[in-house]
């Protein structure tokens, strides 16, 4: 898997050379490159942001710098978008675009759909690159997204800073036929996309075949599979530590009983801490004993 990351702080991603992701790079499972967005600027200050159109606090990342960078990394020619009726609530975005290069460029129609593509959990390798922007105002990134993206050949992450990036950037690349995703990693606001990209990257790459020493640890963990539950509690030796005993059933050697105990615990824990996950369960996939729990 090829992974490009664009950021104004590419050094932030030096940590990716450590630990399991570092090993995966050495093994050739992934090839990660962090690029500095400022390398695509042309002014003396290497500026990547400007004040928000319509007023307001903070700065917004400029589309021209991003497009030069993304065109190069995605190997696309610059184009101009033609407004269509399907964009009623995105008023005049192309007509009023004073930053677009309209000379020497192709014209493309914009599809009405502008959200993340429908969630699927395909086992096939995704055709073409996937462009991902972390964004606190986007759908939540889930284990299902991580699984889906782990089948892609090329991921390109764009880290926003300040008040975010110009909304025309994802719009434009969708119109070019690129699979563009915007994800939030949680209901809180960070200073930029770098931490969010690290989180998503780790969740995705650890699912790559050959990444983890023990593939089974992925199958059994929380948020995985059709009927995703929080994982049961884990214990190791000794059987008693500081007066606290490991549950007897786990020492019994009876695998059926151990499985039942763990499944019950997972159901109870999920019901207590994440009732939304219980609501989402497919009841037809529960067995009789599950229903008792
Ligand atoms: N950028 C700033 N906050 C973020 C969040 N919660 N998720 C993704 N990207 C972000």
Angle at 69 between CA 68 and CA 71, to 5 degrees: 65
Q: What is the ipTM of this complex?
A: 0.98
DSSP readout, 9-26? Answer: -GGGGGGGGSHHHHHHHH
Q: Parallel, antiparallel, or unpaired for β 240-241 and 106-109?
A: unpaired
pLDDT class for 85, splitting at 50, 70, 90? Answer: very low
The three-class DSSP label of residue 259 is helix
Domains of the chain: 2-205 (3.40.1280.10), 225-292 (1.10.1270.20)
Cis (ω within 30 of 0) for the bond into 238?
yes
Residues annotated as binding site for S-adenosyl-L-methionine?
A: 160, 185-190
The pLDDT of residue 100 is above 90: no
Ligand 1 centroid–CA 133 distance in Å is: 9
Is the shortest distance between the CB of 136 and ligand 1 below 6 Å? Answer: yes
Q: Which pTM does this prediction carry?
A: 0.85
**How far is CA 214 from each of CA 29, 187, 209, 210, rounded to the nearest angstrom?**
16, 32, 10, 9
CB-ligand 1 contact for 268 (6 Å cutoff):
no
pLDDT tens-place string over residues 247-284? 999 999 999 999 999 999 999 999 999 999 999 888 88
């Amino acid at each position: 898997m090829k992974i490009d990351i664009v950021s104004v702080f590419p050094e932030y991603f030096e940590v990716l050379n450590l630990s399991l992701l570092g090993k995966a790079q050495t093994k050739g499972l992934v090839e990660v490159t962090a690029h500095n967005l400022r390398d695509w600027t042309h002014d003396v200050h290497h500026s990547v942001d400007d004040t928000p159109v319509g007023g307001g606090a903070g700065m917004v990342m400029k589309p021209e710098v991003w497009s030069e960078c993304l065109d190069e990394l995605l190997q696309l020619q610059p184009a101009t978008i033609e407004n269509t009726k399907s964009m009623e609530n995105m008023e005049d975005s192309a007509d009023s675009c004073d930053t677009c290069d309209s000379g020497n460029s192709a014209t493309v129609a914009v599809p009405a759909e502008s959200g993340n593509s429908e969630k699927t959990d395909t086992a096939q390798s995704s055709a073409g690159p996937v462009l991902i922007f972390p964004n606190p105002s986007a759908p939540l990134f889930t284990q299902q997204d991580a699984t889906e993206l782990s089948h892609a050949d090329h991921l390109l992450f764009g880290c926003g800073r300040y008040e975010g990036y110009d909304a025309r950037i994802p719009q434009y690349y969708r119109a070019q036929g690129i699979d563009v995703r915007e994800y939030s990693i949680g209901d809180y606001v960070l200073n930029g996309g770098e931490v969010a990209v690290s989180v998503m990257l780790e969740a995705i790459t650890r699912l790559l075949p050959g990444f983890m020493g023990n593939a089974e640890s992925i199958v059994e963990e929380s948020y995985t599979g059709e009927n995703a539950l929080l994982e049961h509690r884990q214990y190791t030796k000794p059987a008693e530590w500081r007066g606290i005993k490991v549950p007897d059933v786990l020492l019994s050697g009876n695998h059926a009983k151990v499985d039942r105990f763990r499944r019950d615990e997972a159901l109870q824990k999920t019901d207590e801490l994440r009732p939304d996950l219980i609501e989402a369960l497919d009841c037809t996939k529960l067995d009789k004993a599950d229903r008792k729990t």
